Structure 1
């Protein structure tokens, strides 16, 4: 079977969902969530991309991302997942597989669609009653003036 090619449009914003291997809920503590945030920040600086919104759920992550530099979406997500896996395995002293191999994405075509995607990201932890996921979301930045993720986020206007 031929490997599917990912469509990539230069300058596009993407809504990305990536899931943990076998939906294992690894993002159930602040240390692990902070580790992922730090990895995304590190890769944002080295790979040049913008993040408009995100939420870290127990077994998956949603992020709105726009590549700005020479790296495409697959390279960016691959490097984030790779570095996080390495650090997680070292800290937790495990050899388990961390992520499912692929990720889901769709291109956001206009501001209305971007706002709908951001709304979905922010409602996801509210609907499931997940306080930790709500804390590790762009929700507090957009709706409560919390600047904890100011270095990570580019405001959606």
Structure 2
């Protein structure tokens, strides 16, 4: 998305999500000159069904916003392969 980011991210229990997101945004701003929106919105996913719903929402978002015709055409998308998930 041109002005924000959607991601499904798992955080270690020991580290705070706010600190991790803050540090990541700070690094992206510094090294890639990204100008982020203030704060962030998080949603706790409790089961596989909710994860799948969020995954489909994220994949469809560029299509809904008129940025591409099909989610597979969006060049700024990444997902781990099954081999990477198994690690």
- CA drift at 1:98: 1.6
Gaps of 5+ in 1: 1-56, 90-96, 142-148
Check if 1:128 corresponds to 2:68. Answer: no
How far apart, in 2, do the equivalents of 1:135 and 1:74 lie?
A: 27
Alignment RMSD: 2.4
> In structure 1, which of residues 64, 74, 79 is the aligned counterpart of residue 23 of structure 2?
79
**For residues 105 and 129 of structure 1, what CA distance do their matches in structure 2 show?**
24
Please tell me whether the aligned partners of residues 3 and 37 of structure 2 are also in contact (alpha carbons under 8 angstroms). Answer: no
TM-score (norm 1): 0.44
Cα pair 2:3 2:36 within 8 Å, conserved: no
The structure 1 segments of at least 4 consecutive aligned residues displaced by more than 4 Å after TM superposition are: none
Alignment of 1:31-110 (within 5 A): 57-68=1-12, 70-89=14-33, 98-110=35-47
- Cα offsets for 1:54-105 (capped at 9, x unmatched): xxx011100111112632211111111000111134xxxxxxx822331001
Query: What stretches of structure 2 of length at least 5 have no aligned partner?
Result: none
Aligned mates of 1:63, 1:101 — CA distance in 2: 16
TM-score by length of 2: 0.75
Structure with more contact order per residue of length (Cα contacts < 8 Å, sep ≥ 6)? 1
**Separation (CA, whole Å) in 1 of partners of 2:22 and 2:67:** 27
